[in-house]
Structure 1
Amino acid sequence: MTAARPHPERRRRHTLYFLEFAARQRPVHLDTEVDMTRVQRHRAAAGEAGQRYSVVAYLLHATGRVLDRHPEANAVLAPGWPGLRAPRTVRFGGVTAKLALDRSVDGERTVLSALLPGLESADLPAIQARIDRYRDPAAADLPEFRGVRMLGRLPVPLGRLAFAAALRDPRRRPGVLGTVAVSSLGHRPVDGFHASGGTAVTLNAGQVLDRPVARDGEVVVAPVMRLGLTFDHRVIDGALAADVLADLKQALEGFGDGADPAGPATDRTVAARTA
């Protein structure tokens, strides 16, 4: 007799609990177009040398350097207690990305989130190696997703309590939700999208598509990616978010020139600090 599979709703409970949490944010959306010529050139050269890099790896590489330069955006709001303690912003010294993954759990598609710490100093091969860890079809069985599996088994009231308890201490957020969320739908014909990943900054990458661009006074065709940035207005303001997006654009468009935010990052303490 074939064993009954868990109901699909159970496999999505972690997503539902997260969405209830994220609904408290005040998201604002920005986007820009990024000329990916230099990234694609580097990818092609690496491929000829036998090394595969995904577009997401370059985005993560740039994100770590840029947020290291803008620690105000590498933060979270600790809500405090009404009448007892005012809300405060907690900044993090290290950059941990929460990377959204489309994976199968018990034969059903769902979203899992992988954490990639230390992006402020990780090089491209190390970042790609971390991504590749989650490419296996059985990635949902990895130890780091044990908590997600547990949330699907718990009764809903207990699941909500467990999820809330994991987020209660803001200093633990890097190990639960990361300090920046990154999502990509570039493997599908999606030009751009906006999502809120529960962090002060969420990055959303669309497909890389040949488009006309102006370069040196001429119109040429170049590989272009639309990059969306959603920020929590409770934590940062639009001007800072625009600076982060502009630096990301510069880092990707100037990849490899040695004079952009994708270059070596300064050392910072990993301990969280309170603003």
Structure 2
Amino acid sequence: MTVEVVPVPAARRQTLHFLRFAEAAAPVHLDTEVDATALLAHRVRGRRYSVVSYAMRALGEVMPGFPEANAAFAGSLRPRVARHAAVDVKLTLDKKVDGTRSVLSVVLPDVDGCTLDHLQNAVERLRDTPVGEIRELDGARALQKLPLLVGRLAFALANRLRGRHTRMGTVALTSLGHAPVRRFFSHGGTTVTIGLGRIAPTPVVVDGEVVVRPVLPLSLTFDHRVIDGAMAADLLTALKTTLEATGAGDVDGVGAGDRAGTA
């Protein structure tokens, strides 16, 4: 048998730097299920928004109520926490770089001040723009060009506590909804990482009867260095409630929260 040993592609160097950074965390995982009936109905009545856009809007609504979770951690002998007033979402992207499939990420700032249309516009731009033209990926492209040890140092310097939210966000969001994935748990380098699976028809009990509803798997990974399980469970419950209420009180398929305000 012939074994080929090759260098790790440069397109994956930023992932290696991130994983080394993320090793210090103490991740704990929770999950729940979202009844997506109202969410899907909202998509039918109006613009076909991405589930990711709904999730970002929900994070913008929920995270300000959990300031301890909208935070970042650093230090060992002198542990410190940076708490953020705004909600900046780190969104992962599945892109090909020089023929190599790679996970990249961008930060969408101030999602707590964004409309659903603004978030959807951002999702569509990131989805449809060639990877070499996405300006938010300039930093990742620079890391891919640096020797490994130099890139590791550059990554660490760029993600120091005070300014980390500009590159890592204050909360991470990742989705595998394109595949038949029910449960997955990811640590995105932030205190809270939200994972989305694929919406699928699922038997559930409603008022004592078994019915089939579209169910969205929703996971939450939290860094135990920053918050505890009780708060994480409350946050996950609030996200579930917010997503299930999507479309409530809407007029002509447009949410009340979408009629005013821009990012």
- TM-score between both structures, scaled by the size of structure 1: 0.86
Separation of aligned partners in 2, 1:114 and 1:192: 23
* Selected match of 2:120 from 123, 128, 131: 128
1:200 correspondence with 2:191: yes
Report the alpha carbon displacement of residue 8 of structure 1 after superposing the two structures with TM: 5.5
Contact 2:106 2:167 in 1 (8 A): no
Q: Residues of 2 paired with 1:29 and 1:263: CA distance? A: 33
Taking every aligned residue pair, what percent have the same amino acid on both sides?
Answer: 50
| 8 A Cα contact 1:58 1:124, kept in partner | yes
The alpha carbon displacement at 1:64 in A equals 1.1
- d(CA) in 2 for partners of 1:167, 1:216: 49
Q: Is the 8 A contact 2:9 2:100 kept in 1?
A: no
| Aligned position for 2:92 | 100
**152, 155, 159: which is aligned to 1:163?**
155
Report the 3-state secondary structure (helix = DSSP H, G, I; strand = E; otherwise coil) of the residue aligned with 1:176. helix
User: Secondary structure at 2:81's aligned position in 1?
Assistant: strand
Match of residue 56, structure 2, among 57, 60, 83:
60
Match of 2:216 in 1: 225
Cα contact 1:183–1:205 (8 A) shared by 2: yes
Q: Give the corresponding residue for 1:74.
A: 70
Deviations 1:55-87 (A, max 9, x none): 11111110111101111110011216x3xxx21
- Give unpaired runs (5+ residues) of structure 2: 1-6, 250-254, 258-263
Q: CA deviation at 1:263?
A: 7.5
For structure 1, the 5+ residue unaligned runs are 1-6, 265-275
Q: Distance in 1 between matches of 2:112 and 2:66?
A: 11
* Larger CA deviation: 10-19 vs 104-113: 104-113
Structure 2 residue corresponding to 1:142, chosen from 134, 149, 163:
134
Q: Deviations over 1:4-35 (max 9, x none)?
A: xxx76211000000000001000000000110
Q: How far did residue 40 of structure 1 move?
A: 0.5
Structure 1 CA distance for aligned equivalents of residues 37 and 128 of structure 2? 29
Pair 1:24 & 2:16 matched: no
- Tell me the SS of whatever aligns to 2:168: coil
Residue deviations 1:130-171 (CA, integer Å, cap 9, x gap): 111111251343222111111111111110110010012x12
Aligned to 1:4: none
Other structure's SS at 1:32 match: strand
Amino acid at match of 1:53: Y
- CA-atom RMSD in angstroms: 1.8
8 Å contact kept, 1:104–1:140: no
**Residues 8 and 263 of structure 1: is their aligned pair in 2 closer, same or farther, counting only changes over 3 Å?**
farther
Name the amino acid aligned to 1:213. Answer: V
- Shift of residue 254 of structure 1? 1.3
* CA distance, structure 2, for counterparts of residue 255 and residue 28 of structure 1: 28
- Matched length: 248
- In structure 2, how many angstroms separate the alpha carbons of the residues matched to 1:172 and 1:208? 35
Task: For residue 44 of structure 1, give the secondary structure of its aligned residue in structure 2.
Answer: helix
Question: How far did residue 217 of structure 1 move?
Answer: 2.8
| Structure 1 outlier segments of 4+, above 3 Å | none
